[in-house]
Amino acid sequence: MTTGATVWLTGLPSAGKTTIAYELAGRLREEGHRVEVLDGDEIREFISAGLGFSRADRHTNVQRIGFLAELLARNGVKALVPVIAPYADSREEVRGRHQESGAAYLEVHVATPVEVCSVRDVKGLYAKQAAGELSGLTGVDDPYEVPESPDLRIESQHQTVQESAAALHALLTERGLA
């Protein structure tokens, strides 16, 4: 059985979390690993429908995703989780659940500056916020607590998606998870 793990990619909207996760997933699958990407947008649609973006709802969403990731990791799957998870206490609770079960957990901060994210603006969120059509945008008018000691910090504005995924793959290899 392959070793499972959760790789939580946290960062601002449009930082590159999901793109890096899918790039890494492809590489890991080519190597024969069982991999699932728990995309935050899909989770909100199918598992956390009805939750808003209050601090309490964001915490609930992160805990649901964390539970699924830990379950997958315990069963030999690499769970790649590209989810903003803006609050440190929510992320630490997920890490604690993994530690209690013995499942590997890596926190990766995709540390793309808000200025770069707002130019990328994959979903048009920054444009809507600037136009006054959206409030509560993480990192702009809603908090984002930067991880103090992530297992890896990726500055995606300085490297390609492939280079970012390669750095993450190197970390997994170093930890005996790839």
Per-residue pLDDT tens for 144-166? 999 999 999 999 999 999 999 99
> If DSSP states are collapsed to H, E and C, what string results for 124-154?
CHHHHHHCCCCCCCECCCECCCCCCCCCEEE
The ranges assigned to domains in the chain are: 5-173
Across 48-52, 53-57, 84-88, the highest mean pLDDT is recorded for 84-88
Are 157 and 14 contacting, i.e. CB atoms less than 8 angstroms apart? Answer: no
Q: How many CA atoms, within 13 angstroms, populate the side-chain half-sphere of residue 146?
A: 11
Are 27 and 165 contacting, i.e. CB atoms less than 8 angstroms apart? Answer: yes
Q: How far apart, in whole angstroms, are the C-alpha atoms of residue 161 and residue 1?
A: 29
17 annotated among ligand-binding-site residues = yes
139 annotated among ligand-binding-site residues = no
16 annotated among ligand-binding-site residues = yes
pLDDT tens per residue, range 61-95: 999 999 999 999 999 999 999 999 999 999 999 99
Mean of the per-residue pLDDT values of the chain: 95
15 annotated among ligand-binding-site residues = yes
What pLDDT does residue 18 have? 97
11 annotated among ligand-binding-site residues = yes
* CATH code, 5-173: 3.40.50.300
156 annotated among ligand-binding-site residues = no
What pLDDT does residue 1 have? 53
